[in-house]
Structure 1
Amino acid sequence: MTLAVGSVAAALAPAAAASGSTTEAATPTLADRSPGASAGVLASFEGRRIDLSRDWDGARSCAVVSPEDVRCYVSNEQADAALAAAGLTSNVTGETFDDQCANGWLCLFDLPNFGGRRLIFQDEGWQSLAGYGFQYKTSSWINNQACDDLGGLGDGVGGAIYISGCGARASELGDWDNRAVDVGP
């Protein structure tokens, strides 16, 4: 795993993790996850609704504003511009960390090196990736949220990895490649 900035940390002791290290921790039980976790998520895309669990239908970047408000776009640039115009990005530290991940968001990519489709979150709490068509598909990620805002990936059987904010990134996930079934907190 490669981390350019920040650290991967365990939720139970985020300050104790060393920069560039990985620590696994327990994820919430199935009862703690978002309701309807296995149902397909409907997203708006080019004036219509698409079921992300079935097909992204040409979308390349989807933003989970909330579990009930998911917006998809043909490119990351189009998504970031639309989110900024709607006031849904934040420059939490006065610095832009990454042009591949909107400010204030946690970004998942289905290919290494931040390639392929992008699914981004800013809503707190664990959510299943199945409804978004992203279960077992995360190969790289960026946490472009506040420096003290951890992002996590869970494997559905109690394992998790965490990455701090401030533009922390993992261009490859090693043993965690295509393993994640949940995202949070």
Structure 2
Amino acid sequence: MISKHLTKVLLAAVSTGALLLATGPVAYANESTGAPSATAIESPSPSANPSKPVIAQYNGRQINLAEDENWGGVSSCTELPGGEVHCYDTNEEALADPALPASIRQATLKAAASLTSPPPRGCIEDYWCLFENPNYAGRVLRFSSDGKHDLGEWGFRDKLSSVYYQVLRWPTNYGIARLWDYRSWPLHDRQRDLISHRHPSMANLDYPDGGNWNDKVDSFEVRR
């Protein structure tokens, strides 16, 4: 026969289990994928809280691009071949930066002077140029390295409105780019490849769930 004391212990354990089940939400793992089930709490997008903010050089001092989404009035920033990032007040300063390879500077000047449709002001040869406003206007980010660039780390998340890529040396730098819009689980991330190198308005690119890609890009991936 079970003692009264043991009976009380068993009843307490059952009551505690019921209480835990009643409180929630509780996340369970999917046996096939290991992913949480639909009862799990959605987590924020990785771009919402940048873990690696970009620290750029500007007029002899450092600025945190992720901390100030307006960059303190800076007009453009360039990711240079050595990995450092420099920011500028004018397009002329960006093109004259000694850290920019001379071949790129010369090719940019040549294109501006000789092409019937020169690249927009602020765009540099061999760089994907990301503009804050349509028609290649507003602040500019210039990317050259292969791979993903989390725009939250650059203070540019959900701000991309037009893209231009000047390609003259096809064997050297031909490639595409990929747009990413991070979604909280269980929604899948959205993505779109940019095969064309000229996009004066992201509003012209259809978004998978309806609408368009203007001011929706969380990460810009360069694929060479």
Shared fold (TM-score greater than 0.5)?
yes
Residue aligning to 1:46: 59
Secondary structure of the structure 2 residue equivalent to 1:89: helix
Of 115, 133, 156, which residue of structure 2 is paired with 1:111? 133
Rate the CA distance shift 1:59–1:141 in 2: closer, same or farther, 3 A. same
Q: 1:85 to 1:108 in 2, by over 3 A?
A: closer
Shift of 1:40: 1.7
CA contact (8 A) 1:38 1:130 kept: no
Provide, for residues 137-178 of structure 1, a one-character-per-residue CA deviation record: whole Å limited to 9, x for no partner: 00111012455311222112432223247xx21111110000
Shift of 1:74: 0.4
Which position in structure 1 is the counterpart of 2:155?
133
Counterpart of 2:200 in structure 1 is 171
Q: Are 1:155 and 1:180, in contact at CA under 8 Å, matched by a contact in 2? A: yes
The higher-RCO structure (CA 8 Å, 6+ apart) is: 1
Change (3 A) 1:67 1:181: farther
Bigger mean CA deviation after superposition, 81-90 or 114-123: 81-90
Confirm or deny: 8 A CA contact 1:38 1:128 kept in the other structure. no
Q: CA deviation at 1:80?
A: 2.0
What is the rounded CA distance, in whole Å, between the counterparts of 2:78 and 2:198 in structure 1? Answer: 18
Report percent identity of matched pairs.
Answer: 28
Distance verdict in 2 for CA 1:112–1:38, change over 3 Å: farther
Kept in 1, the 8 Å contact 2:81–2:100? The answer is no
Q: How many residues of Structure 1 are paired with residues of Structure 2 in the alignment?
A: 148
Structure 1 95/135 Cα, relative in aligned 2: closer, same or farther at 3 Å?
same
Is there any run of 5+ residues in structure 1 with no aligned partner, and where? Answer: 1-32
CA offsets per residue over residues 22-43 of structure 1, 9 Å max, x none? xxxxxxxxxxx9xx95332100
Q: Which residue of 2 aligns with 1:57?
A: 72
SS in 1 for 2:102: coil
Q: TM-score with structure 1 length normalisation?
A: 0.69
Give the gaps of 5 or more residues in structure 2: 1-45, 113-117, 184-188, 204-211
Structure 2 length normalisation: TM-score? 0.58
Partner of 2:92: 77
CA drift at 1:86: 4.0
Paired residues of 1:154 and 1:183 also in contact (CA < 8 A): yes
CA distance in 2, matches of 1:88, 1:182: 28
Secondary structure, aligned partner of 1:176: coil
Letter in 1 for 2:213: W
Task: State the match for 2:144 in structure 1.
Answer: 122
How do residues 13-32 of structure 1 correspond to structure 2 at under 5 angstroms? none
**Structure 1 or 2: more helix by fraction:** 2
Distance 1:179 1:66, change over 3 A: farther
Q: Secondary structure at the match of 1:142?
A: strand
Question: Could you tell me whether the CA contact under 8 Å between 2:80 and 2:99 is conserved in 1?
Answer: no
